[in-house]
Amino acid sequence: MIEIKNIYKKFGKLEVLNDINLSFKKGECIALIGPNGCGKTTLIKSILGMVIPSKGDILFNKKSILKEFKYREQIGYMPQIGRYPDYMTVGQIIEMIKKIRNSDQVLDEDLVKAFELEKIVDKQMRTLSGGTTQKVSATLAFLFNPEVLILDEPTAGLDPLASEILKEKIIKEKEKGKLILITSHLLSELDDLITQIIYMQDGTVHFHQTIADLLESTNEQKISKAIAKILKNKSNEQNH
């Protein structure tokens, strides 16, 4: 569904993405992990068209997204830190996005109910806590039943209860055959969600494997340990 071909991105002299090649298909739930500043968010923003790659191409349903915008109708995006106009209320934000999308699709308001957003519709965005803002972001991402969900650190800042609600929602969507892309540095809570894992470092993809392959190749039971093992092996290779 999404193909990333030889993407490079430089911010000034800093190379953030260096020859990234990836391919995502429907029904996959992919974890994009790596240390801080490895280029995860830049990669996601590239897919969303918010960051324009210096070189390379990204295909969405086999069509280049460069200079395109329509494809974003099929993407729900939850940013790492959701930033909204200060003086708009929760209700206004949701209404505004509805108006902008102007879609006649049936809205998926599961999360509105689950997070009990009705109680805070009249609150201005600047008065909300980080966690509550994330709830709004998550709700907006799922609202239009998108084919692709891109979630940047979705559980960061959420309380355990909300975190659980979101996870359930993600699983539910995955079962509908949607493509879900999650970035995270906390692995444990994602263990039961993901089907594939991408590890990025210094702007390059270290590895891209299905969970099954990963566990098998490393003979580990837990994803975090498997990754640690791979990284250790890699650094050993480099030292020699």
Partner 1 sequence: MNRIIKIIFLDILKNKIILAYTLILAILSWSSFGLEDNSAKGLLTILNIILFTVPLVSILFATIYLYNSTEFIELLLSQPIKRKKIWLSLFLGLSLAMVLAFFIGAGIPLLINAPDSVGIMMLVIGCLITLVFVALAFLSSILTRDKAKGIGIAIMGWLYFALLFDGLILYLLFQFSDYPIEKAMIVVTAFSPIDLARIQILLHLDVSAMMGYTGAIFKDFFGTSLGLLLSFSLLCLWIIIPFFISLIKFKNKDL
Contact set with partner 1 (CB under 8 A): 11, 45, 48-52, 69-73, 75, 77, 79, 83-88, 96-97, 99-102
Q: Which residues pair with 132 in a beta bridge?
A: none
CB-wise, 54 or 217, nearer to partner 1? 54
Shortest gap between Cβ of 5 and partner 1 (angstroms)?
19
Is the CB of 64 or the CB of 233 nearer to partner 1? Answer: 64
Pick the closer one to partner 1 by CB: 101 or 234: 101
Q: In this complex, which beta carbon is closest to partner 1, that of residue 96 or of residue 212?
A: 96
In angstroms, what CA-CA distances link 214 with 193, 196, 222?
15, 9, 10
Least separation in angstroms between residue 156's CB and partner 1 is 18
Looking from the CA of 166 toward its CB, the CA atoms found within 13 Å total 29
CA angle 41, 61, 202 (to 5 degrees): 25
Rounded to a whole number of angstroms, the minimum distance from the CB of residue 152 to partner 1 is 10
Q: Which amino acid is present at 26?
A: K
Smaller CB separation from partner 1, 36 or 102: 102
Minimum CB distance to partner 1, residue 72 (Å): 4
Q: Residue-wise over 185-212: b if at least 16 C-beta within 10 A, else e?
A: eebeebeebbebbbbbbebbbbbbbebe
- Min separation Cβ 207 and partner 1, Å: 27
Q: What residue spans of the chain are helical by DSSP H? A: 40-48, 90-101, 110-114, 130-142, 160-175, 211-218, 223-239
Of 86, 181, 79, the residue nearest 125 (C-alpha): 86
